[in-house]
Structure 1
């Protein structure tokens, strides 16, 4: 697999739009099964647009530490996070043009009550790629198995700085549900529910130097 075909990425929860811009044009996405969990990242949080603010949907996890493997981190179902997230998504996008078509795909993943955050994120990412009609294969790898010529984007997209400081995306505006000012780089569900089949085209126009 040549350099321009394979990308190694982080695995996020309902990833930001920037993530999908970054994987455009690749044939394979490789994800490291052996990485350690990192707190305060997109691994367990996503941003959606509500009527009066941008809201952060955060998945609670049980006793994670820096030494713990990401794939071993369990979701804390003692907290009613799932109801909060589903209600939040419904209030944010219930009246969006493509909500009724796409929401069931996400709901099916949540209804499985999967134990591990890694598994939830992998299934949600699979759904997103399908709805975006991105023809890219997802592969789970061990750190030592990555091809040396792969593009490695791990650690680039993170919550500690704005996307404008990275060389990935120049946002393409699209009609959102709330507010007069466009809010860029929300969770991919904002784009999907608002733009449906045109989402991929928005991503392509958002790529820096496209």
Structure 2
């Protein structure tokens, strides 16, 4: 299976890759300004909040492997504070937050490393035995089970091909907000996250 390497991906991403034993991501993929590659959505007091990782060279359509994170902007504290504000009182905050924070505090230079480390951690939390393979360039056969471009904030109908929202208990408000970052589900549901993902399949 081939897919994009996203930043703290939404639930539709995990529904799409569930059951795969190997997931290929491409280091030479061109960065899209509108994608989830450097942004994630969490829930704060009844509204979606978008966390964006600022990067150098976004306008130059660089390959993902060449995109550097911009630490001159104070995004790191904003993201960590945002996650704490959103999920500090959630049932499973203490189980997951410290490991998540450690990845941020390592301050990887490149976006591909941040995304890969966070995705690896989320798969570990889910206890999925998935092998992540980073490929340097396109190879024959990569188009088989190719999900690149499917999970995209501007292409909600594409996500609908694989994902149907299944409500679970969230921290803020009575109205369920669907397809947030996987951290929303992990902090709120912990071990039950897998059941929710299974019930979210089309």
Shift of 1:141: 1.3
Match of 1:22 among 2, 10, 16: 16
Q: Relative to 1, partners in 2 of residues 1:174 and 1:71: Cα closer, same or farther, differing over 3 Å? A: same
Shift of 1:147: 2.9
**Which residue is 1:85 aligned to?**
79
**Which residue is 1:105 aligned to?**
99
- Alpha-carbon contact 2:92-2:186 (below 8 Å) kept: yes
Question: C-alpha deviations, 1:82-114, integer Å up to 9, x for none?
Answer: 000000000000000000110111101001011
Paired residues for 1:1-210 under 5 Å? 7-145=1-139, 147=141, 150-163=144-157, 166-208=160-202
- Alpha-carbon contact 1:98-1:196 (below 8 Å) kept: yes
Please give the secondary structure, in 2, of the residue aligned with 1:56. strand
Q: If the length of structure 1 is used for normalisation, what is the TM-score?
A: 0.92
**Which residue is 1:3 aligned to?**
none
**Which residue is 1:4 aligned to?**
none
- Alpha-carbon contact 2:2-2:142 (below 8 Å) kept: no
Please give the secondary structure, in 2, of the residue aligned with 1:168. coil
In 1: Cα distance, 2:46 partner to 2:2 partner = 36
Gaps of 5+ in 1: 1-6
In 2: Cα distance, 1:72 partner to 1:164 partner = 28
- Alpha-carbon contact 1:9-1:30 (below 8 Å) kept: yes
Shift of 1:143: 3.3
Aligned residues: CA RMSD: 1.5
In 2: Cα distance, 1:179 partner to 1:23 partner = 29
- Alpha-carbon contact 1:37-1:64 (below 8 Å) kept: yes
Shift of 1:207: 0.6
- Alpha-carbon contact 1:10-1:154 (below 8 Å) kept: yes
- Alpha-carbon contact 2:150-2:158 (below 8 Å) kept: no
In 2: Cα distance, 1:46 partner to 1:145 partner = 29
